[in-house]
Amino acid sequence: MNRGLSVSFPGICRWSISVLLFGQILFVNSQSAYPQQPYFQGKTLRIVVSSAAGGGSDTTARIIARHLPRFIPGNPAVIVENMPGGGDIVGINHVYNVAKPDGLTVLFSTGAPITQLLNPPEMKFDILKMHFIGGSSESVAAFIRNDKTGVKSVGDLTKATGAIVLGGTQVGSIKDISLRVAMNLLDVKTKYVTGYGGSGPARLAFERGEINFTQESTATITATVMRWDKEGWTSMLYQVGFLGAKGNVIKDPVWSKMGLDLPTVGEAYKMLYGKEPSGPAWEAAKALVGGYSLTRVIAFSPGVSADRVTELRTAFKSMSLDTSFQEELEKRGSAARFLLGDEAQEVAATIINSPKEAVDLLRKLATLN
């Protein structure tokens, strides 16, 4: 019997402890040698476009969706989902309030700062609380069916031989308000028809003759409207322009490169009335020009983490400088100029803080009355 026999192996115990410690060190070092996979790897990033398919915003968003994955760590799939309605409000509300703040849903919206400036009751967001990834500005120009109105140039606007039927996408959208503000400034009487939901459907309505006066971005005008102009039944009228460093309205040189000598809205006023524009109507027009200086906003909802915001901002910046991305934009006739996150947010704040008299007039013109 070996009861009470005590045997110890101190050397073996020390050896076992050493092995365990060495194993832990190897494990920690192996974790450092193999970093965690990028957050976006194997995931899908959804771009919610708050306007209908077929318009300038939709076209630009789909170009971004093709190029952006190359610059995001993990190279996620990127899809576009159109969510039109309420002058872009439906899509913005969804991203702000409904979509998970996990960095996998990003807003792509037209005229969001102008929408907030108007403060519609359906609005359930504060665009300045969102995380701006970037933004873009793209010049727009107005055109008209001369076969329906007899208008072939700005000088004919006040002596049209047929009713001018102004066509928009939605009450309160930047397109609708911009057209109505310009006509208010120029004192041109029009019939207002809207509710098409996006530039694509509105353009089809223009072809059918339901409306005969609207405006579009360079991409759409290059692809479609220039052909109508050459066919003789559509005339280009004016460009909205951009705000200069001193708050003055300046021409976008892209139109002259396209062979179009288009006046700004302010120049159109001077052509009609022989003097410079002034007063609340002009201040409202300039606010809309500011809106087109930040035509589109790309932003995360407020709850998205700083890491996701930084990753997307970095990717957006790299993409905007990429040659193949720029070439595709040019191929499709887009003359978009891109603003980075903080810069885009500053422009949005400037628009939202427009003079009260201009805001009051804009709110009046953002209705069916």
What average pLDDT values come out for the chain (369 residues) when binned by 10 residues? 45 48 48 73 97 85 96 97 90 97 96 88 95 91 97 97 94 89 96 89 94 91 93 97 79 90 96 95 88 90 97 97 92 80 88 87 85
- For residue 137, the SS3 value is strand
Q: Domain coordinates of the chain in residue numbers?
A: 44-138+294-354, 140-291
Topology, domain 44-138+294-354? D-Maltodextrin-Binding Protein; domain 2 (3.40.190)
Q: What is the pTM of this model?
A: 0.71
259: Cβ contacts below 8 Å, ≥ 6 apart: none
pLDDT of 218 reads 84
Name the CA dihedral angle for 122, 107, 115, 317, rounded to a multiple of 10 degrees.
160
Rounded to 5 degrees, φ, ψ at 183 are: -70, -35
Q: Which of 163, 153, 149 is nearest to 191 (CA)?
A: 163
CA dist list (Å): 275 to 131, 187, 279, 283: 42, 14, 13, 16
CATH of 140-291, one of 2.30.30.110, 3.40.190.10, 3.30.420.40, 3.40.50.720: 3.40.190.10
Say yes or no: do domains 44-138+294-354 and 140-291 share a fold: yes
pLDDT of 34 reads 54
pLDDT of 19 reads 46
pLDDT of 4 reads 45
Query: What distance separates the 2 farthest-apart alpha carbons in the chain?
Result: 124
